Structures are given as structure tokens and as C-alpha cells.
Chain A
């Protein structure tokens, strides 16, 4: 079945350093979404990418969708302690309402 793999599982950075998490699907996706989960909280939607090669930015966060629509990345520039949490990618297929989530990358930021 469809699988979405995410790496790394954990990342510890010093505040101010950059951070990147990668997501790879075994099949072509119609869209990819990114979510953030703060410790003890629930996942919260960040962004959705639907076009091949799409790049979107939210302040210090940059999201990319691969040309083949099978991989994606999230890059955070100059991390802050407020970036701490687990970041999930999730791949979707049109018209099913169904998402397959990656395993998540947990980011720790040392002040």
C-alpha cells in the first residue's frame, strides 16, 4: 500500500541554526500537507502543496513539493524555541478524504 517516509526522526539544533525535514512517498500524490504538533498537543495544519515543483513560504518556513509529486521538504531558517515540536507530512489522493501521514520529525531547539 501507499507509504510516506519522513526523515530524520529527531533533530536537535542550536537556536539560530537551520532545520530541514524530508518526506518521500512510494506513489505519486495529488497533494501534500504539513502539520505541526506541539508537545502534548494535537496536530495543526500548516500548509498544502498541490502543484509539481511548488514552493511556498510562511515567514521562516519554506515548503517544497517535488517535480514528480513524490517528495517534499520543510526548511526552517534560523530556528527559534517556538519552533519546538513534531512536524508531520501527509500525502493525499483526490476525492478520498484520506491522508497517509509520515512518521514525523521531532525538533528540539537549544536556547
Chain B
């Protein structure tokens, strides 16, 4: 199993450009999340999904869109990139154990994004 795969690993954008960060998992996990990591801020939740067709906002959703058409894929779209979106982005998946969400996050390797 590859686990959680994120592409690209690095990206440089100009202000106003759009792009999609890809995330795929092969563990058949129901839950998937996107986080951004900035110095001193920890990991902040952008969007998450509890299953195909269901998404919800996290702490910092503005400027990002997501969709979940399959269990495996959870792409993150930047509509019009801004310098404030320079960050490291992590995708994670987690599983449900019986009736409870165990919430244990399996992270991808991350995408390092710079917006100039």
C-alpha cells in the first residue's frame, strides 16, 4: 500500500493563478482532511470529508475549495492564489472503527507551496 500520496511535492505560483493539489489514499479510509502548516501555528484544518460526496469547512477554509467524488481522492483547489497561502499543505486520511471515528490521521508527505 502507498498510503496517502500527495502531488506535487513542490509548487511555485504567481499571485492570481489557480491550481489543484492532489491527494489520493489506498487504505479505503472514509475520512480525509486538508491541513496547512505555518511556523508557530501548528496544523490548521482547511476542509475535511466524512465520505464521498460530503465535505465540510475547517478552521481556515477561505480561498480553498474541495470535492470528494470518490473514496480515494480529495483534491484541494486554490481559486486565486495569494501570498498568504504560501505554506506546507498536508492531506490526511483516517478511519472509522465501528460507530466511532478513531481520528488517527495518516498523513501524506506534503506539498510545499510558494505564492509570489
What residue in chain A is nearest B50 (Cβ atoms)?
A97
In the complex, residue of chain B having the shortest beta-carbon distance to the beta carbon of A45 = B104
With A and B bound together, what is the CA distance between A100 and B35 in angstroms? 10
Q: Give A97 to B58 CA distance when docked, in angstroms.
A: 11
Task: Identify which of A88, A95, A98, A104 contacts B33 (C-beta below 8 A).
Answer: A98
| Contact indicator A98/B104 (Cβ below 8 Å) | no
Any chain A CB within 8 A of the CB of B90? yes
**Are the C-beta atoms of A43 and B90 separated by less than 8 Å?**
yes
CA A45 to CA B92, docked complex, whole Å: 11
Complex Cα distance, B105 from A96, in Å, reads 13
> Does A52 lie at the interface of the complex (its beta carbon under 8 Å from any beta carbon of B)?
no
**Docked-complex contact A31 and B103, CB < 8 angstroms:** yes
Chain A proximity mask over B54-84: 1 for CB below 8 Å, otherwise 0: 0000110000000000000000000000000
Say how far A85's CB is from chain B's closest CB, in angstroms.
13
Residue among A41, A44, A90, A94 making CB contact with B100, cutoff 8 Å: A94
Residue of B nearest to A6 (CB): B42
Interface size class of A (residues with CB under 8 A): 20 to 34
Closest approach, in angstroms, between the C-beta of A108 and any C-beta of chain B?
15
A33 and B103 in contact, given A42-B110, A97-B50 (Cβ under 8 angstroms): yes
Q: How far is the CB of A98 from chain B (nearest CB, A)?
A: 6
Q: Given A97-B50, A98-B33, A45 and B42 touching (CB < 8 A)?
A: no
The distance from the CB of B46 to the nearest CB of chain A, in whole angstroms, is 12
0/1 interface trace, chain B 98-116, chain A, CB 8 Å (1 if under): 0111111111111000000
* A92 is an interface residue with CB less than 8 A from chain B: yes
Knowing A42-B109, A45-B106, the reply to whether A95 touches B42 (Cβ < 8 A) is: no
Cα-based distance from A44 to B58 in the complex (angstroms): 21
Q: List 6 A-B contacts (CB under 8 A).
A: A33-B105, A95-B100, A97-B31, A98-B58, A99-B33, A103-B41
A-side residues, CB < 8 A to B, are 1, 6, 9, 31, 33, 35, 41-45, 48, 88, 90, 92, 94-104
Give me the interface of B with A, judged by CB distance under 8 Å. 30-31, 33, 35, 40-45, 48, 50, 58-59, 90, 94, 96, 99-110
